Structures are given as structure tokens and as C-alpha cells.
Structure 1
């Protein structure tokens, strides 16, 4: 019928409403990474400054997030997801290989990812700590996930006769603490070594846990 109005397509500028919403969210997260990971840090950031950095309005901020804490939480999860994917890729690339090769590949991939951007390290190792009970639960939950990651690989090595049979819960938690501490110190310039040397040290530490002095694979 001539003159009949067309039904709205939901597109503006060639993008759907959902695409524009996703883009806005990404811009806020990018701004959060810059401000939390550099200056002024999470505690020195306001919604107004983050919105200005993102090139968006505070009204648009509250359409995507309830608070700055939500931005920090989303960044923390994203950073951990990326690092986990990198470590899993390292394991997948060494499927069927000896445990020493597997853990080396996994931690080389993990370390390369988390150290690629110092801002990501600061967000996940510094800014997230002690912000709120909610974020402490999230941080510890993700830490427990990394502990489970190490335990799973250790248990698999035990099944293959490549590691001493034992309960690896405490050892895995201690190792993850060492990983976080050493990588952060290295990134901050407090450890004078190349990244490969740091990874080698961590791998040696883990292999020492899996194969303690006096243990012989032939006995298992």
C-alpha cells in the first residue's frame, strides 16, 4: 500500500541494538582496563571519569553496569578466562607427551598471556584484592579453579606413572600462590630474569612437587 510505514528493523547505522549494546560494553571495559590497570587505579576511578574515558555518558554506563565494581568483576573474569584458554591450548598441543613437556607448554602459554599486558596483571593480582566480600569470593573461586587445574594434571600424571601418588590439594594451592607472586614480582621489575627463566623456575618447582626426592617411577 502506497505511503504505508515500514516496520522498524531495529538497525541504526548498519548495526542492531544488540550490536550497539555490545560495543558500548566493550568500550566501558576497555576504559576500565586502562584506568584500573594504570592510573588512577580502581579506587581512584569514578563513573564519570570512566565514562568520559570510554567516550560515553554516565547514563549509558548505568544501562550496562550497576557500579564500577561490576566493571572490575567482569575484567577479572575475562582476564582469567583468557589465561585459562592459553594454558589449555598448551596442554592440548602436547597431548600424549611426558608431563614435563605438558606443564612447560601450559605455563609458557599462561605466562605469555598474563604478562602480555601489565594492566591485566595489575587488575587480577592487585586491584581485585580486598575490594568487597563479593569480589573476594570471586577471586578465591577463580583461584580454586586454578588449583583444580593443577590437581587434575597432577592426578593424570599419577595415573600415567609420572608422578608420586598423593593428595595434591595443599601442594597445588601453594604452587598457584608461587605462580601469582613470582609473575607479579617479575612484571614489577623486582626479579631480574627473562620470562623463559621464570617459567623454567616454575616448571621446576611443579615437577619437584610431582616427583619428590627419593621417588622412583619404576616403583609405581
Structure 2
């Protein structure tokens, strides 16, 4: 019986070396996660400007070459970290909004605001990195920060119980409301750093709820006056 050519041909596919059960790509991704986790810890603890690439590498047990395999600079590392945290926030808030879509406006608002607050307050380091560090680092970071606000403004614009006939104006009000909400978060974070009361997370939720309800009342009054 004649063997087929394919059966006779030896397999020259290179064997991917595995170390501790991980191949090269998996080890690279693990190093990236370690670097971002260390950047989170250090940026929150000693600020962006007070943290060096060498410190991030030492904390992550990753060589400097490993850092530059993933990020061209400390700024690029920060932008990647900000993107990662933002995606987590956005996914959580969007999930809760979808889950509470059948509720009335105030119940839905409380569920979404609570999800937002817990996404940042359950790990205060995330709040420090996103709200305490983002302003003024660089044009690239500012662009990312503005993009995050625009996303949040557009998201809020889909949640209002009443809709302004002028979509551009409605979106502008939503964006301004997000700016106010983010300022309340920044103020809460400053208070937290100064040793805020144990109930400060609930206080932040209540303050955000009150603020958005006041904005909604203003939108409704403006619509009724036209």
C-alpha cells in the first residue's frame, strides 16, 4: 500500500516554547498586564509626574526592554491605562442601563449612577488615575479625556426622560451635565484623600443623583416654556 505524500511529509511546524505553561505571546500579554497594574498602583500612590518608567518596571518585575516592547513612553503607558479603565467603566454603566431600561426615570438614574460610583469608588486608585491625574498631563491625554467626556455626554443624552427637539442643544446640555458630575467626583476624591467620612461613597451617589435631577428639571422647564 502506497503512503500519501501528506502522510509521509514530516511536520516542520516550529514548537512554541512554553515557560510556566505560557507561550511567548501569552508571556508578553502577562507582562503588559503587570506593567499596567503597577502603573495603576504607583500613579495613584505617588502621582504620574512622581513615577518613573524604572519604578514601574521594578514594581512589575519586568525589565525596561519589556516596557518598551509595549509602550513607547510613560505617557503611552498612561493612555493605555486610561483606555483600559474607561472601557471597564463604560461596559459596566451600559450593562446596568440596559438591565434597568424598564424602570422609571428616577429608578433607572439611581441604578446607573450607583454603577458609575461603585466602578470608581470600590477601588479608589482608579478614581485617582482617571480623575486626579488626567488633567494637564499632555495633549494626547487631554484628547483621550475629552473623548471620554463626549462618550459620557452622548450616553446621558440617551437616558433623559424628555428629549429636546434640538439634538445638538440637547447633547450640549448633556455634555455640560457630565462636566458637573465629573467635578463632583473630583471634589469627592479630594475630600477622600483628606480623610473623608466613611459614608462618602453614598454621599457622592446622593450628590450626583440630586445634581442630575436638577438638570433634568431645568431641561423640562425650558421645554415647557417654548
TM-score by length of 2: 0.82
Structure 1: give runs of 5+ residues left out of the alignment.
Answer: none
Task: State which of 142, 147, 160 in structure 2 corresponds to 1:141.
Answer: 147
Secondary structure at 1:158 match in 2: coil
Q: In structure 1, what is the equivalent of residue 5 of structure 2?
A: none
Counterparts of 1:11 and 1:179, CA distance in 2? 50
Using a 3 Å threshold, how does the CA distance of structure 1 residues 5 and 169 change in structure 2: closer, same or farther? closer
List aligned pairs for 1:49-60, cutoff 5 A.
49-60=55-66
Query: What is the deviation of 1:171?
Result: 2.3
State the structure with more CA Rg: 2
8 A contact 2:128–2:189 mirrored in 1: no
Q: In structure 2, what is the equivalent of residue 9 of structure 1?
A: 15
Query: What is the deviation of 1:213?
Result: 8.8
Q: In structure 1, what is the equivalent of residue 178 of structure 2?
A: 176
Using a 3 Å threshold, how does the CA distance of structure 1 residues 23 and 200 change in structure 2: closer, same or farther? same
List aligned pairs for 1:83-162, cutoff 5 A.
83-154=89-160, 157-158=161-162
Number of aligned residues: 209
Q: In structure 2, what is the equivalent of residue 196 of structure 1?
A: 202
Counterparts of 2:28 and 2:170, CA distance in 1? 44
What are the superposed Cα offsets for residues 144-173 of structure 1, whole Å, 9 maximum, x if unpaired? 11111111212xx226xxxx7663233222
Secondary structure at 2:162 match in 1: helix
8 A contact 2:97–2:112 mirrored in 1: yes
8 A contact 1:89–1:106 mirrored in 2: no
Query: What is the deviation of 1:28?
Result: 0.5
Counterparts of 1:52 and 1:26, CA distance in 2? 14
The answer as to 2:34 corresponding to 1:30 is no
What are the superposed Cα offsets for residues 104-159 of structure 1, whole Å, 9 maximum, x if unpaired? 100101101111122111111122211111111111111111111111212xx226
Secondary structure at 2:159 match in 1: helix
What are the superposed Cα offsets for residues 164-205 of structure 1, whole Å, 9 maximum, x if unpaired? 766323322222122212122223326755322321222222
Q: In structure 2, what is the equivalent of residue 21 of structure 1?
A: 28
Task: State which of 75, 80, 83 in structure 1 corresponds to 2:81.
Answer: 75
Cα RMSD for the two superposed structures: 2.7
TM-score by length of 1: 0.84
Using a 3 Å threshold, how does the CA distance of structure 1 residues 109 and 213 change in structure 2: closer, same or farther? closer
